[in-house]
Amino acid sequence: MRREAARLEFVKQARGLPRLFAAFDKFVNENAAAELAAKIACVHAEVALARRPFRRLPVVDAWVALHATTRWRYPFLVLTGPSCMGKTQYALSLVAACRALDLNMACAVEPDLRTYSPAAQALILFDEKAVLRQKKMMQAPACMVGLGSSPTNNFAYAVWIHAKLLVVCTNRWDVEVKAVPHADREWLAASSVVVRVDEPLFVA
């Protein structure tokens, strides 16, 4: 039965319409979400079959291994270079499937981590550089990190991000670093592992 026809049947009953419509709309939305999730999983499976293996980068291996030790804070990884080098997919491959949170930071003032789960995600990928406004967060410290702050803090929240793999993929790192004050450049140099990607990261 089509959605419109089903709603018409509810109208014909003329009883409990607000409750019935709310339940019906919930069913429709959940069903659509399940269908979309199945479609996404199918596409990901097809893409995975065609994906070529990635090259091993010793500097990245050492950075990942660093997170297996308990520290107060950790450097974040920067993969910088031209587009179409495989930076994003390489970063996602550092953890098991579905263990990464991929954020689009192109226009965001700060990351939206309200869907982040410390138990579910081991890596957070920032697809553009948005680092200096969140120095505390970008060091994956052993403390709760507050986000969403404002003059009233109505939407503020805190996340536990300790020892998570934090990766920035960008093609403007050198340009943007040169544009910030000297003190910030020093902090970036001390707090990050920068890998310049000038050739494809996947095996030809």
pLDDT of residue 82: 94
Average pLDDT over residues 94-112: 83
Domain spans, the chain: 3-50, 58-196
pTM of the model: 0.80
What confidence score (pLDDT) does residue 122 get? 96
Reported as a pLDDT band with limits 50, 70 and 90, residue 77 is very high
Give the pLDDT of residue 130: 64
Its CATH architecture, for the domain 58-196, is: 3-Layer(aba) Sandwich (3.40)
In this predicted structure, what is the pLDDT of residue 127? 73
Q: What percent of the chain has pLDDT over 70?
A: 94
Strand extents, DSSP E, the chain: 76-80, 100-103, 123-126, 144-147, 157-160, 165-170, 192-196
What confidence tens digit (pLDDT) does each residue in 167-190 have?
Answer: 999 988 998 899 999 999 999 999
The arithmetic mean of pLDDT across residues 61-66, rounded, is: 97
Residue 50 has pLDDT above 80, yes or no: no
Which positions ≥6 away from 76 have C-beta within 8 Å? Answer: 131, 138, 139, 140, 166, 167, 168, 191, 192, 193
Tens of pLDDT, residues 131-147: 788 899 999 999 999 98
